[in-house]
A and B are shown apart, each in its own frame.
Chain A
Amino acid sequence: MSTPALKEWPLWEVFVRSKQGLEHKHCGSLHAADAPQALQMARDVYTRRQEGVSIWVVPSASISASAPEDKDAMFDPSADKIYRHPTFYDIPDEVGHM
């Protein structure tokens, strides 16, 4: 498959909400000329097996991501603060499953 499109078409990130799901989940990316086309292509590529009832597409260039080399500084400090998990409370029976 020759793919000049990979150079000429911008990249889009695709988010799909499933029938049961409340939120849109990232499921992949694709190249498309514009947003309407990206939506249609996402429909054909990512919802063929009834995966979704709603699609978002976002230009990949619009996403600001944390840098991999910042991982330690950003995320390690939370590793020894287990008291932030609400697991030390006695929950009354009447509350049921949370």
Chain B
Amino acid sequence: MAAHEQYLLHLADNALILGQRNAEWCGHGPVLEEDLALANNSLDLIGQARLLYQRVGALRNDGKTSEDLLAYFRNEPEFRNYTLLEIAHSTALTPTAAGDRDYAVTIARNFLFSALMVLVWDALKTSTDQELAAIASKSLKEAQYHLRHSRDWLIKLGDGTDVSHARMQAALDHLMPYTQEFWTPSPMEAAAVRTGAGVDNKTLQASWNAIVDEAIAEATLKRPAAGGYVTTGKLGVHSEHMGFVLAEMQSLARAHPEAVW
């Protein structure tokens, strides 16, 4: 059961951390409509995380595991999200990681991740964990919209001006190596596949490649090679960005435990 719990936390942490990252655009979006679109995206993701944390709480059944405990009172090595989802909205073209968010990075990341999640949620609809199967059915519709939104912008910016094309390409070049983590095996995923609760991402890779290649071609961009260092966020070994994400996300809840408003 511990492995299954880790798998649920992996799915939940992916959603929570990307939701937290995308929420940074709230009030700072390039246009009002996109500001709302990104806030909607974040609320979808945080909603998915909540359902998955509640499922973990129900499985532990220890009377103290709540979604807040899992989101706000776990430390960095206990988070199981892909490193891709925790890094800042910046590339080599961006002067500073903290202050200068690049919308191209936001779009490219949402595209690469939601292209995976439409396949993952679709496969998890038949999970042997029936609660997880129900969460997957709900989340699939949200992921489909996230994919549509990010894919459209990928194409608009890629096939746009010289500047937007260059920035979109830089974002893809920057992020593509992190997608290697989607496909590397891990004990928790192997265990989830054995029990039929989880999906083997390797079986989704060809479909993911097709989605990504088609969109990149339409955007007149070049698909960069995904080589180099393979990140290990899902094993709890994160990048230097993760601590900052957690500090911002968790500090209020830790300063005022059990506060309500």
Contact = CB atoms under 8 A, between A and B. Distances in A.
Contacts of A2: 30
Contacts of A45: 32-33, 36
Interface string A23-38: 0000000111100110
Contact of B29 (A1, A30, A31, A37): A1
A3 interface: yes
A79 to B, nearest CB: 40
A37 B152 contact: yes
B37 interface: yes
A33 to B, nearest CB: 7
A43 B148 CA distance: 12
A3 B36 CA distance: 15
A14 to B, nearest CB: 11
A93 interface: no
A31 B37 CA distance: 14
B40 A31 contact: no
Contacts of B30: 1-2, 5
Nearest to B37: A44
Interface in B7-36: 28-36
A80 B246 CA distance: 69
A48 interface: yes
Contact of A44 (B40, B152, B156): B40
Interface of A: 1-3, 5, 30-33, 36-37, 40-41, 44-45, 48
Given A40-B152, A44-B37, A48-B36, 10 more contacts: A1-B28, A1-B30, A1-B35, A2-B30, A3-B32, A31-B31, A32-B33, A36-B152, A40-B148, A44-B33
